[in-house]
Amino acid sequence: MSNPDERTASERFTGHGAEWKSAPLGAKDAQSATAWVEQIIDRRSMLTNKDRVADVRDAMWELEKDGEILVHRVTDEHRPVHVKTLYGWDKKIPTTRLWHHKSCGQCGNIPGYPTSLLWLMNQMQIEYLDETDQTSCTAWNYHGSGIGNVESLAAVFLRNFHQAYVAAKAQGLPDGYYYPLVHCGTSFGNYKEMRSFLMHSAKLRERVRKILGKLGRLVDGKILIPEEIVHYSEWLHVMREEVAKRRVIDCSGIRATIHPACHVYKMIPEDVIYDETVLDGNRVAVSTGIMQTLGTQVIDYSTWYDCCGFGFRHIISEREFTRSFAIDRKIRVAVEEAHADVMIGHDTGCITTLDKNQWISKADGRPVGLPVLADCQFAALVCGAHPYKIVQSHWHASATEGLMEKLGIDWRARKAEFEEYLKDVAAGRGETLYDPRRMITSGPGFKRVGHAG
Amino acid sequence: MTGVTATTRVQEFIGDPLAGTTPVAREKLEEIFRDIQADLRFDHELNGCLNCGICTATCPSAHYYDYSPREIVQLLWTENLEGIYDAMQEKIWACAQCYTCAARCPFGNSPGGLVMLMRETAIKHGMESAKNVLRPFSRVMLKLISTGNQLSPDMISKDAFPDWGPNISKVDAPLALLRKAIPVPTLHTTKTAWEVNLKTSVELYTIWEETGVLESLKAVDPNLFDVIGDIMDEKRDEYAEWLEEQEEETT
């Protein structure tokens, strides 16, 4: 990193908000004051492993050459954008013909999360399929309870991704037409772990191949491995300029803090996007990149590296840990240190934990109230999505109304519109983002529907 | 001060941690450790340890519990069988599974990953700690194993989460109506997070059976195992009937 004194304001290491001023430190003192940050919590600490980490995709191509597996490729038809990961490796992010692999926590608890994502895709005429033939990754339960094992996790991974590969058949389209886009951070980390274990263990491949054979989920007798495992936040990142073109609400006055999700960037760090144009490449690029491009002030805070406190089982049965951690290590720091208007995340468990666990802070007389949204929800909001019909902000326990007021959104009027709209829904006149007949691709309820294009 | 006095102080203020416990047979301890080691991930997750403690310094659970990922790694690295067994009684369940330890370890260890191997083994051996710890998790397990979804809208209730505040939704309307107002058709559900195809659930049952997951469940919660077994039978029958109808329609 260059000498801080020699850098212009636009080159600063982090966003600090409009009123931020440099401390009157000389170059040497400034360096020693911040050196611990660079040495300890920057991505550089992970770079120490660089020489010892192999790219799992090399093993994948070898296995395909040996005829043991088949790779589901990201093709030109998926209009990929190439990005750089931690070690400077290339990753291909498909931008269209996407198969939505949903998140149970998002769909069950924060439905504005997937809805905003699909709405953004509609705005940009992105082709996608959202269907019923998919299960959860099962990894939340696994990490929380220990019920499950590497074989079950790997088999669920390959079953879901096989379905993504063949799903287009229902529309009379070829295999591999759609490419899976993973919504959940837990799934994203878990699937990447499973891909790595599968590539390195012939025994695991053999066991899982037998199971998938019973399910009819092999391709030419081989297990199907995705060339890239792609998280929705990566898609949003590479589409950020396109999204920003559609922004209709000025958000330059918004101070945003980012909570990066552990299973997104700590679990398989070598596969995570870092971008020199996003905070000098010193933070995970996703979420921060879209918020910067939309024009918000991204504010750094000292506990950005901490987890949210979700804990998988803790949010169910060790709630004192979860809420204490969420409030004291994340929300209160973002409010008091960064004076944040919003905390932005990109994972199911984090958004749930940080959003839901604020109300209880009243119990010790020090209440906190910080809106918590997913990056795609915020993006949809400032691109003109309805805050209740699309962003579904009513499911959020945190105070999103204050954020909307700061953005100039008359939330009372929008809420009244939504309450009126519920009458239409009750009468069977609800609106949908895509043709509902497409959501069943086989099995009970399936009816062939032509390709919607 | 003599060593004898120090021992007395420990006994007086802390007590003997082994008092009242039944010694576990060496064979049992070895069996448990062998099960942990037998997992193909063991050598991937454990490469060595210099006791540097970076993992514990960055661990969220270490802030709040008597838990240290460094200790877990050391117990396994030094093959301290008694210590491993002891940690499996409680400590391993404190881990928040964030994998910050793994991202930071200079040896490339994954203490969080090792904890998962220990949790799986605790379940396999039907340890009382696993039974106690997992009891509140049974709703999630029931939902997951029987439907393929881990969480559903009807699980989020004021009774289940009183500390989340008075409003599940800030718009006052029946849950089913609010769900129908989500413009994503797969989400018009209340008992699952999204509509899961029956065929999909039945495929998942095969995975559970083939990978021994149901056996693990039986070891810690036989009642739940029975309930899930009944649901699986019902859904399989339902799917078989549908397949028969399809055959009849085509013939």
Tens-place pLDDT, residues A87-135: 999 999 999 999 999 999 999 999 999 999 999 999 999 999 999 999 9
pLDDT surpassing 80 at residue B8: no
Provide the domain limits for residue B209.
136-250
Stretch(es) of chain A classified as CATH 1.20.1050: 55-232
Which residues between 170 and 189 in chain B have a beta carbon less than 8 angstroms from any beta carbon of chain A?
170-171, 173, 177-187
Same domain for B109 and B196, yes or no, is: no
pTM: 0.91
Name every residue whose Cβ is closer than 8 Å to that of residue B58 and which is 6 or more positions away in sequence. A305, B100, B101, B104
Same domain for B62 and B94, yes or no, is: yes
B193 inside domain: yes
Order of strands, sheet of A255-259, starting from the edge strand that comes earlier in the sequence: A297-298, A255-259, A342-345, A372-374
Position A50 scores a pLDDT of 74
Flag whether residue B161 sits within 8 Å of chain A, measured between CB atoms: yes
DSSP one-letter code for B243: H
CB A285 within 8 A of CB A275: yes
Position A13 scores a pLDDT of 43
pLDDT surpassing 60 at residue B59: yes
Q: Are A109 and B151 in contact (CB < 8 Å)?
A: yes
pLDDT surpassing 80 at residue A178: yes
Q: State how far residue B9 is from chain A, nearest Cα, in angstroms.
A: 32
Query: Per residue in B63-110, pLDDT tens?
Result: 899 999 999 999 999 999 999 999 999 999 999 999 999 998 988 999
Mean pLDDT score of chain A, rounded to an integer?
Answer: 91
Position B167 scores a pLDDT of 83
Lowest mean pLDDT segment, chosen from A14-23, A258-267, B209-218: A14-23
Q: Which pLDDT band holds residue A7 (cuts at 50, 70, 90)?
A: very low
Q: How far is CA A353 from CA A106, A283, A301, A307, A404, in A?
A: 12, 22, 18, 10, 21
Burial class (CB in 10 A: 0-12, 13-18, 19+), B236: middle
Q: Which residue of B has its CA nearest to A53?
A: B108
Mean pLDDT throughout A17-25?
A: 61
Same domain for B146 and B96, yes or no, is: no
The dihedral through the CA atoms of A32, A38, A39, A40 has a sign that is: positive
Residue type at B241 in one-letter notation = E
Share of chain A above pLDDT 90, in %: 83
Q: What is the CATH number of the domain that holds B57?
A: 1.10.1060.10
B86 inside domain: yes
Q: Are A155 and B207 in contact (CB < 8 Å)?
A: yes
Which residues of chain A have a CB within 8 Å of the CB of B130? 146
H-only helix segments in chain B: 3-13, 26-38, 42-45, 54-57, 60-64, 69-77, 81-87, 100-104, 111-124, 128-134, 138-147, 175-180, 198-210, 213-220, 222-250
Same domain for B113 and B144, yes or no, is: no
Position B18 scores a pLDDT of 65
Q: Are strands A81-84 and A90-93 parallel, antiparallel or unpaired?
A: antiparallel
B57 inside domain: yes
Q: Are A422 and B65 in contact (CB < 8 Å)?
A: no
Q: State how far residue A408 is from chain B, nearest Cα, in angstroms.
A: 20
Residue A26 token pair? 């000389």
Q: Which residue of A has its CA nearest to B221?
A: A147
Beta-ladder partners of A345: A259, A374
Same domain for B148 and B119, yes or no, is: no
Position B140 scores a pLDDT of 85
Which domain-ending residue is among B103, B125, B147?
A: B125
Q: Which residue of B has its CA nearest to A109?
A: B153
Query: Per residue in B178-195, pLDDT tens?
Result: 999 999 999 999 999 999
Q: How far is CA A379 from CA A96, A239, A295, B7, in A?
A: 18, 11, 11, 63
Q: Which of B100, B146, B138, B129 minimizes the C-alpha distance to A310?
A: B100
Name every residue whose Cβ is closer than 8 Å to that of residue B237 and which is 6 or more positions away in sequence. none
What SS3 class is residue B157? coil
Rounded Cα distance, A197 and B110, in Å: 14
pLDDT surpassing 80 at residue A30: no
ipTM of the complex: 0.92
Same domain for B120 and B208, yes or no, is: no
- End-to-end, the C-alpha distance of chain A in Å comes to 47
Rounded Cα distance, A340 and A17, in Å: 10
CA contacts within 13 A on the Cβ side of A119: 29
pLDDT surpassing 80 at residue B5: no
Q: Which residue of A has its CA nearest to B210?
A: A211
Of A105, A114, A266, the CB nearest to B151: A105
Q: Which of A86, A87, A92 minimizes the C-alpha distance to A72?
A: A92
Position A282 scores a pLDDT of 85
Q: State how far residue B232 is from chain A, nearest Cα, in angstroms.
A: 15
Lowest mean pLDDT segment, chosen from A179-193, A301-315, A438-452: A438-452
pLDDT surpassing 70 at residue B36: yes
Position A23 scores a pLDDT of 64
The dihedral through the CA atoms of A31, A274, A237, A10 has a sign that is: positive
Position B104 scores a pLDDT of 87
Q: Which pLDDT band holds residue B11 (cuts at 50, 70, 90)?
A: low
Query: Per residue in A393-426, pLDDT tens?
Result: 999 999 999 999 999 999 999 999 999 999 999 9
Mean pLDDT throughout B153-173?
A: 91
Tell how far CA A213 is from the center of its chain: 31
Q: Which pLDDT band holds residue A37 (cuts at 50, 70, 90)?
A: low
Rounded Cα distance, B103 and B109, in Å: 9
Tell me the angle at which helices A348-356 and A185-200 cross, rounded to the nearest 10 degrees. Answer: 150
Tell how far CA A334 is from the center of its chain: 20
Position A52 scores a pLDDT of 76
Query: Per residue in A197-236, pLDDT tens?
Result: 999 999 999 999 999 999 999 999 999 999 999 999 999 9
Residue A249 token pair? 């609400």
CB A369 within 8 A of CB A399: yes
Position B187 scores a pLDDT of 98
Query: Per residue in A268-297, pLDDT tens?
Result: 999 999 999 998 888 899 999 999 999 999
Region for residue A335 given its phi and psi (left: phi exceeds 0; alpha: psi -120 to 50; beta: otherwise): alpha
Q: Are A146 and B120 in contact (CB < 8 Å)?
A: yes
Same domain for B34 and B99, yes or no, is: yes
Testing the interface with A: which of B40, B138, B143, B207 to mutate, by most A Cβ within 10 A?
B207
Position B75 scores a pLDDT of 96
Position B197 scores a pLDDT of 95
pLDDT surpassing 80 at residue B4: no
Same domain for B141 and B84, yes or no, is: no
Of B99, B156, B194, the CB nearest to A267: B99
Higher pLDDT, B107 or A82: A82
Q: Are B41 and A150 in contact (CB < 8 Å)?
A: yes
Topology (CATH level 3) of domain A249-423? Rossmann fold (3.40.50)
pLDDT surpassing 70 at residue A450: no
Q: Are strands A342-345 and A255-259 parallel, antiparallel or unpaired?
A: parallel
Q: Are B199 and A442 in contact (CB < 8 Å)?
A: yes
Same domain for B140 and B213, yes or no, is: yes
Which domain-ending residue is among B125, B155, B175?
A: B125
Burial class (CB in 10 A: 0-12, 13-18, 19+), B50: exposed
Which residues of chain B have a CB within 8 Å of the CB of A36? none
Same domain for B148 and B116, yes or no, is: no
pLDDT surpassing 80 at residue B10: no
Lowest mean pLDDT segment, chosen from A16-25, A170-179, A381-390: A16-25
Within 10 A of A411 (CB to CB), how many other CB atoms are there? 18
pLDDT surpassing 50 at residue B162: yes
Stretch(es) of chain A classified as CATH 3.40.50.11810: 249-423
Position A33 scores a pLDDT of 64
Name every residue whose Cβ is closer than 8 Å to that of residue A147 and which is 6 or more positions away in sequence. A141, B123, B134, B141, B213, B216, B217, B220
DSSP one-letter code for B58: T
pLDDT surpassing 80 at residue A250: yes
The dihedral through the CA atoms of A62, A64, A69, A72 has a sign that is: positive
Q: Which pLDDT band holds residue A22 (cuts at 50, 70, 90)?
A: low
Which residues between 196 and 225 in chain B have a beta carbon less than 8 angstroms from any beta carbon of chain A?
196-201, 203-204, 206-208, 210-213, 216-217, 220
- The class that CATH gives domain A55-232 is mainly alpha
- End-to-end, the C-alpha distance of chain B in Å comes to 93
Name every residue whose Cβ is closer than 8 Å to that of residue A433 and which is 6 or more positions away in sequence. A115, A118, A119, A122, B183, B184
- SS3 of chain A: the string is CCCHHHCCHHHCCCCCCCCCCCCCCCHHHHHHHHHHHHHHHCHHHHHCCHHHCCCHHHHHHHHHHCCCEEEECCCHHHCCEEEEECCCCEEEECCCCEEEECCHHHHHHCCHHHHHHHHHHHHCCCCEECCCCCCCCCHHHHHHHCCCCHHHHHHHHHHHHHHHHHHHHHHCCCCCCCEEEECCHHHHHHHHHHHHHHHHCHHHHHHHHHHHHHHCCCECCEEEEECCCCEHHHHHHHCHHHHHHCCCCCCCCCEEEEECCHHHHCCCHHHCECCCCCHHHCCCCCCHHHHHHHCCEECCCCCCCCCCCCCCCHHHHCHHHHHHHHHHHHHHHHHHCCCCCEEEECCHHHHHHHHHCCHHHHHHCCCCCCCEEEHHHHHHHHCCCCCCCCCCHHHCCCCHHHHHHHCCCCHHHHHHHHHHHHHHHHCCCCCCCCCHHHHCCCCCCCCCCCCCC
Q: Which pLDDT band holds residue A453 (cuts at 50, 70, 90)?
A: very low
Structural domain count of chain B: 2
Q: How far is CA A248 from CA A88, A342, B32, B170, in A?
A: 35, 19, 60, 26
Q: Which pLDDT band holds residue A40 (cuts at 50, 70, 90)?
A: low
pLDDT surpassing 80 at residue A35: no
Which residues of chain B have a CB within 8 Å of the CB of A135? 148-149, 196, 200-201, 204
Same domain for B87 and B164, yes or no, is: no
Q: Are A108 and B210 in contact (CB < 8 Å)?
A: no
Q: Which residue of A has its CA nearest to B65?
A: A321
Residue B73 token pair? 């790694």
Backbone angles phi, psi at A297, to 5 degrees: -90, 115
B10 inside domain: no
The alpha carbons of chain B give a radius of gyration, in whole angstroms, of 24
